[in-house]
């Protein structure tokens, strides 16, 4: 059974005070969650607070991730952050290709693949969380599977299936991010199953071990039903990750899955 991963993407929210209160609230709250040892918890603060967050999570079970990275190890790339920098500060994960990066900042499948490849080249010192998903227009055109294939193929062409040996995938239907809309459990499961089958075309073992998260308005009220689906291995949480109580509510659902 794949181990659930509940990841909080704080996006461009936060302050020193919020970082401290939220991480401490999550860490303390997990101590009261039965079965908390059966799943992983990840927080991804804004880059300017990663050093503060690193110190706060160091004595807890909470893992630390970044929201973006540059594919180059160093150089004249003003304003960018490299994988060695993230590793040195204590990051264990990094989000790649989030829909907001693709839509708002024009990141292409090729650029995302380069970042993913850089993680692989450094032997997964920082684990990539590859975000993929379709827009509302693409779903209405019944192009969901085609879009997912394009986004996965861009990475597979660069790293091969071996690149997914330690990676995480996050399926995020763009139409369900920040809109209050949520894919039905059946819609989410269908997409996750398609992704896993796509990987299985190249390697059955890697396909079965790869964690695929759902990222689209997961909340405490719908988390258990979503996480109970066969191919959903956790959540990439946006708005609900900004309050310890709501994030812990999702963690409790993951704990139930882990105990089952």
Q: Which of 88, 98, 157, 225 is catalytic?
A: 98
Global pTM value: 0.96
- DSSP label of 48: G
Q: CA 250, 256, 257 angle in degrees (round to 5)?
A: 95
For 174-226, how does the pLDDT look when each residue is reduced to its tens digit (9 = 90+)?
888 767 677 899 999 999 999 999 999 999 999 999 999 999 889 999 999 99
Contact 235, 204 (CB under 8 A): no
Mention every residue, 6+ apart, whose C-beta is less than 8 A from residue 109.
Answer: 97, 150, 151, 154
Catalytic-residue membership of 150: no
Higher pLDDT, 183 or 250: 250
Q: Which of 32, 172, 181, 201 is catalytic?
A: 172
For 5-19, how does the pLDDT look when each residue is reduced to its tens digit (9 = 90+)?
999 999 999 999 999
Mean residue pLDDT across the chain: 95
Kindly list the domain boundaries of the chain, sorted by start residue: 4-259
- By DSSP bridging, strand 168-171 and strand 211-214 are parallel
In 3D space, the residue among 42, 53, 43 whose CA is nearest the CA of residue 15 turns out to be 53
Q: What is the pLDDT of residue 216?
A: 86
For 28-75, how does the pLDDT look when each residue is reduced to its tens digit (9 = 90+)?
999 999 998 999 999 999 999 999 999 999 999 999 999 999 999 999
Task: Please report the sign of the dihedral spanned by the C-alpha atoms of residue 150, residue 101, residue 243, residue 42.
Answer: positive
Question: Which fold is adopted by the domain 4-259?
Answer: TIM Barrel (3.20.20)
Catalytic-residue membership of 192: no
Task: Please report the sign of the dihedral spanned by the C-alpha atoms of residue 63, residue 76, residue 100, residue 162.
Answer: negative
């Amino acid at each position: 059974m794949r181990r659930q991963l509940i990841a909080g993407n704080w996006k461009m929210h936060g302050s020193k005070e919020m970082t401290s209160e939220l991480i401490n609230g999550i860490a303390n709250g997990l101590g009261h969650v039965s079965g908390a040892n059966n799943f992983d918890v990840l927080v991804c603060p804004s880059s300017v607070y990663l050093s503060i967050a690193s110190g706060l999570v160091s004595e807890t079970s909470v893992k630390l991730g970044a929201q973006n990275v540059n594919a180059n190890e160093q150089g004249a790339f003003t304003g960018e952050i490299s994988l060695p920098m993230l590793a040195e500060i204590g990051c264990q994960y990094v989000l790649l290709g989030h829909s907001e990066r693709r839509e708002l900042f024009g990141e292409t499948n090729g650029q995302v693949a380069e970042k993913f490849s850089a993680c692989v080249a450094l032997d997964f010192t920082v684990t990539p969380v590859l975000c993929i998903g379709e827009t509302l227009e693409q779903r209405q055109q019944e192009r969901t599977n085609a879009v997912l294939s394009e986004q996965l193929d861009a990475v597979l062409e660069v790293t091969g299936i071996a690149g997914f040996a330690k990676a995480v995938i996050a399926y995020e239907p763009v139409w369900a991010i920040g809109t209050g809309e949520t894919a039905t459990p059946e819609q989410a499961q269908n997409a996750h199953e398609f992704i896993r089958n796509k990987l299985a075309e190249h390697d059955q073992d890697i396909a079965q071990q790869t964690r695929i998260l759902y990222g689209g308005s997961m909340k405490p009220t719908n988390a258990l039903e979503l996480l109970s689906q066969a191919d959903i291995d956790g959540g990439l949480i946006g708005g609900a990750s900004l309050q310890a109580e709501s994030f812990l509510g999702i963690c409790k659902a993951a704990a139930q899955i882990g105990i089952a």
